[in-house]
Amino acid sequence: MCGVSGLVWRDPSRPAGLAEVEAMNAAIFHRGPDDGGVHVHGTATLGHRRLSIIDLSEGGHQPMISQDGALAIVFNGEIYNYIELREELKAHGRRFLTASDTEVLLQAFEQWGPDCLHKLNGMWAFVVFDQRTKRLFAARDRFGIKPLHYVFDERRFAFASEAKALLAAFPDLRRADHAMLAHFLPSGAVDDGPETFFKNVFQLEPGRSLTLDVSRWSMSIDRYWHVDPAAFADRWVQGDPVERMRELLDSAVALHMRADVPVGTCLSGGIDSSTLVGLMSRLHPEPIRAFSGLYKGKEYDEEEFVQAVRDHTGCQGYDIRRTPNGDLLDDLATITWHQDMPTAGPGLYTQFNVMEMASRHVKVILDGQGADELFAGYLPYYALRVNDLLASGRKASAAALVLQVMRHHGGAWIAGVQGSSLLDTGRRAWRKFQARRAAASGAALAPSEPPFFHPSLTERVGTARIERQLESHYPDSLSNALCNHVLTQSIPALLHYEDRNSMAYSIEARVPLLDYRIVEFALGLGAEWKIRDSWTKWVLRKAAEPILPAKVAWRRSKMGYPTPAARWIREGRDKDAAHELLFSQRFLERGIVSRDSVQYYWDQHQSGAVDRSWLLYRYITVELWHRHYVDAFLPRTARPAPEPIRRTLEHSSRQAA
Active-site positions read 2
From 151, 144, 235, select the one nearest 198 (Cα to Cα): 151
Q: Taking CA 374 as the corner, what is the angle to CA 369 and CA 379, rounded to the nearest 5 degrees?
A: 90
Sheet holding 508-510, edge to edge: 316-320, 289-293, 263-266, 364-366, 508-510
Backbone angles phi, psi at 170, to 5 degrees: -130, 90
Gyration radius of the chain over CA positions: 25
Backbone angles phi, psi at 220, to 5 degrees: -135, 150
Distance CA 545, CA 541 (A): 6
Q: Are 477 and 387 in contact (CB under 8 A)?
A: yes
Within a 10 A sphere around the Cβ of 357, how many other Cβ atoms?
19
Any long-range contacts for 495-498 (C-beta under 8 Å, 24+ apart)? 495/143, 495/144, 495/145, 495/191, 495/369, 496/144, 496/147, 496/190, 496/191, 496/339, 497/339, 497/343, 497/348, 497/351, 498/351, 498/367, 498/369
Q: Are 484 and 471 in contact (CB under 8 A)?
A: yes
Measured between alpha carbons, how far is residue 618 from residues 186, 257, 332, 478 in Å?
9, 35, 11, 29
Distance CA 1, CA 598 (A): 40
Burial of 204 (0-12, 13-18, 19+ CB in 10 A): buried
Q: Taking CA 524 as the corner, what is the angle to CA 519 and CA 526, rounded to the nearest 5 degrees?
A: 120
- Show the beta-strand stretches assigned E in 10-116: 35-41, 44-50, 64-65, 71-79
No. of helices (H) and no. of strands (E), the chain? 27, 17
Within a 10 A sphere around the Cβ of 314, how many other Cβ atoms?
12
The sign of the torsion formed by the CA atoms of 639, 642, 643, 648 equals negative
Distance CA 620, CA 603 (A): 16
Q: Taking CA 274 as the corner, what is the angle to CA 305 and CA 256, rounded to the nearest 5 degrees?
A: 160
Q: Are 77 and 145 in contact (CB under 8 A)?
A: yes
Within a 10 A sphere around the Cβ of 332, how many other Cβ atoms?
27
